[in-house]
């Protein structure tokens, strides 16, 4: 199908021809009338085609409008923050999730430097990643803490991508902010748990050792195990210091160990 512009041009051409024929002298009226009828018929066909094209354009515009709305919703309400900055690190665009992570109104954030929302002590990590992304063109991922007006801090993972021109000059920066507060809380809880376990293990009155199976016989029965860790009481009761015990097998330390000990394992 021809384009809307060419159809309109053809329509105008046919109309001009029809007007010219109508203005002719009546001496060739029969021929002119026939030509006029033919032109009118063509005009009707082109007019119908133009109407069809007009409807198609309206439908296409409606679809584009719906797609734009869907994209906007996906952008605004994505589970991660999206930030676009100019080459000076000034925020150009930020979605609702990104603004919420910073704890600022989105109307305030554009034209603000992103670095001012980074918690004290984390600026150098951010700037180093920004510079590396700009120099290499490769995405950089870091974890840092953002300031927040309502909360003490916000842990985020930041994925930084530099958009560069053909010369390698940075045009703009794009960043994705992912809330990792729960992950960090779990890591802190795990470290605290490990610390408490370590203290309990080392302060036990009884000698204790952690072992792993190191050897089995052809039937799958355990015949030796390696010491992974021993506590202070183990060292005191056995007279074997930590550096001589850890990494050694039971049979290396006590060659006369009887099989029934391993059967109990």
- Among 74, 99, 123, the domain boundary falls at 74
Q: Which CATH number fits the domain that encloses residue 109?
A: 3.30.450.20
pLDDT band per the 50, 70, 90 thresholds, residue 21? low
Regarding predicted confidence, which is higher, 122 or 21?
Answer: 122
pLDDT at 177 over 90: yes
Is 188 contained in some domain?
A: no
Q: Are residues 154 and 121 in the same domain?
A: yes
Domains in the chain, number: 3
User: Got the DSSP string for the chain?
Assistant: ---HHHHHHHHHHHHHHHHHHHTS-GGGHHHHHHHHHHHHHHHHHHHHHHHHHHHHHHHHHHHHHHHHHHHHHHHHT-SSEEEEEETTSBEEEE-HHHHHHHTS-TTTSTTSBGGGGBPTT-HHHHHHHHHHHHHH---EEEEEEE--SSSS-EEEEEEEEEEE-TTS-EEEEEEEEEE-HHHHHHHHHHHHHHHHHHHHHHH-SS--EEEEEEEE-TTS-EEEEEEEEE-HHHHHHH---HHHHTT-BHHHH-TT--HHHHHH-
Q: Are residues 114 and 86 in the same domain?
A: yes
Q: Same domain, yes or no, for 86 and 174?
A: yes
My answer on whether 69 and 86 are in the same domain is no
The verdict on 136 and 212 lying in the same domain is: no
Mean pLDDT across 68-93: 85
In DSSP terms, 54 is beta-bridged to none
Domain shared by 66 and 86, yes or no: no
Judgement on whether residues 254 and 214 belong to the same structural domain of the protein: yes
**36/93 same-domain check:** no
Among 30, 57, 74, where does a domain finish? Answer: 74
Q: What is the pLDDT of residue 28?
A: 53
Residue 150: the pLDDT is: 66
Looking at the domain assignment, is residue 68 inside a domain?
A: yes
Give domain status of residue 193, yes or no: no
CA-nearest of 234, 232, 246, 228 to 203 is 232
Closest C-alpha to 95, from 110, 117, 112: 110
Please tell me whether residues 88 and 166 are part of one structural domain. Answer: yes
Residues 101 and 154 in one domain: yes
Question: Is 186 within a domain?
Answer: no
- What are 190-245's pLDDT values in tens digits? 999 999 988 998 899 999 999 999 999 898 888 999 999 999 999 999 999 999 99
Q: Give a yes or no: residue 191 inside a domain.
A: no
Domain end marker among 74, 90, 121: 74
Q: Is 52 a domain residue?
A: yes
Domain of residue 66: give its range: 4-74
Same structural domain for residues 98 and 166? yes
Q: Are residues 103 and 168 in the same domain?
A: yes
66 against 102, higher pLDDT: 102
Of residues 66 and 140, the one with the higher pLDDT is 140
Establish if 219 belongs to a structural domain: yes
| Category of 2 on φ-ψ map: left (φ > 0), alpha (ψ -120 to 50) or beta | beta
On whether residue 185 sits in a domain, the answer given is no
């Amino acid at each position: 199908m021809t384009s809307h512009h060419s159809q309109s041009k053809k329509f105008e051409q046919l109309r001009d021809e029809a007007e010219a024929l109508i203005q002719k002298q009546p001496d060739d009226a029969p021929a002119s009338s026939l030509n006029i009828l033919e032109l009118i018929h063509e005009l009707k066909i082109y007019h119908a085609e133009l109407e069809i094209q007009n409807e198609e354009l309206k439908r296409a515009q409606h679809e584009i409008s719906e797609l734009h709305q869907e994209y906007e919703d996906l952008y605004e309400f994505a589970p991660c923050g999206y930030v676009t900055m100019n080459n000076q690190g000034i925020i150009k665009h930020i979605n609702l999730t990104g603004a919420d992570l910073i704890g600022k109104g989105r109307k305030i954030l554009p034209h603000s430097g992103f670095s001012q929302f980074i918690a004290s002590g984390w600026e150098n990590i951010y700037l180093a990643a920004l510079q590396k992304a700009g120099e290499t063109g490769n995405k950089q991922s870091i974890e840092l803490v953002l300031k927040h007006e309502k909360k003490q801090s916000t842990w985020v993972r930041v994925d930084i991508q530099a958009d560069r021109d053909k010369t390698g000059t940075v045009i703009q920066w794009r960043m994705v902010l992912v809330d990792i507060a729960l992950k960090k809380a779990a890591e802190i809880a795990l470290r605290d748990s490990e610390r408490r376990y370590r203290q309990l293990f080392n302060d036990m009155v009884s000698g204790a050792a952690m072992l792993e199976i190191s050897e089995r016989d052809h039937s799958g029965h355990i015949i030796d195990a390696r010491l992974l860790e021993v506590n202070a009481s183990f060292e005191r009761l056995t007279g074997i210091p930590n550096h001589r015990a850890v990494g050694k097998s039971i049979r290396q330390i006590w060659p006369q160990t009887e099989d029934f000990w391993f059967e109990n394992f």
